[in-house]
């Protein structure tokens, strides 16, 4: 079984790629979903957040106030590092446990959707790394249309993420997504064929 990490910046179309893989019967482990579960009410990261950031970052239902935390970490990089200590690192440990559990399965490939792959330095933990990318303005327009976030906030988010050029250089496979959804799916199909997975 081959392990493949998929990453890409906000608005790159990474989710479209992973959804398409799931539709074709592949298993995709979603690191963001794991992180959200950790920061939901009763999640294992909530005590850490309460201790290191205080109760003002916890909503009445006991979950993380994601909007407040997002604003804080993008304005104060040192807070982002502190947050990742209690969330991202734990997710990466859980991912390694999933790999061990699935090692004996008959799956040809196991995919991992990891937005912060390069930021956490875990790219060498996989057999291959696929980077989904698109031009800056294309990504920005997608995020504005999808989330309705102010352009200045999108710039902050995009600028805080590891540079696209560096990701492309480090990738085993680059999936360019400046065109249509159909174009993207064709690219994914040809990539799967190149790995003898289709």
Report the Cα 22 to chain-centroid distance in Å.
16
φ, ψ (nearest 5 deg) of residue 79: -70, -30
Coil/strand/helix, residue 9: coil
pLDDT at residue 4 in the model? 97
Please, what are the domains in the chain? 2-36+106-193 (3.40.50.300), 40-86 (no CATH)
pTM above 0.85, yes or no: no
pLDDT at residue 21 in the model? 97
- Is 137 exposed, middle or buried, given 0-12, 13-18 or 19+ CB atoms closer than 10 A? exposed
Radius of gyration over every alpha carbon of the chain, rounded to an integer in angstroms: 17
| Contact in structure between 143 and 149 (CB atoms under 8 Å) | yes
pLDDT at residue 162 in the model? 59
pLDDT at residue 161 in the model? 65
Report the Cα 137 to chain-centroid distance in Å.
20
Mean pLDDT in each 10-residue stretch from start to end of the chain (198 residues)?
Answer: 92 93 96 92 93 95 94 91 87 91 88 89 94 89 80 74 80 94 96 94
């Amino acid at each position: 079984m081959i392990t493949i990490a998929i990453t890409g910046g906000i608005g790159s179309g990474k989710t479209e790629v992973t959804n398409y893989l799931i539709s074709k019967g592949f298993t995709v482990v979603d690191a963001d979903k794991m992180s959200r579960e950790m920061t939901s009410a009763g999640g294992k990261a909530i005590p850490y957040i309460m201790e290191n950031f205080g109760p003002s970052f916890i909503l009445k239902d006991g979950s993380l106030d994601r909007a407040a935390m997002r604003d804080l970490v993008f304005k104060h990089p040192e807070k982002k590092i502190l947050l990742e200590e209690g969330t991202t690192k734990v997710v990466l440990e859980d991912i390694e446990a999933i790999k061990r559990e699935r090692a004996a399965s008959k799956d040809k490939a196991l995919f991992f959707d990891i937005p912060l792959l390069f930021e956490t330095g875990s790219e060498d933990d996989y057999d291959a790394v696929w980077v989904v990318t698109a031009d800056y303005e294309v990504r920005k327009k997608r995020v504005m249309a999808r989330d309705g976030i102010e352009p200045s906030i999108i710039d902050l988010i995009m600028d805080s993420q590891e540079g696209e050029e560096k990701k492309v250089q480090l990738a085993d496979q680059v999936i360019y997504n400046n065109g249509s959804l159909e174009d993207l799916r064709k690219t994914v199909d040809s990539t799967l064929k190149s790995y003898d997975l289709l």
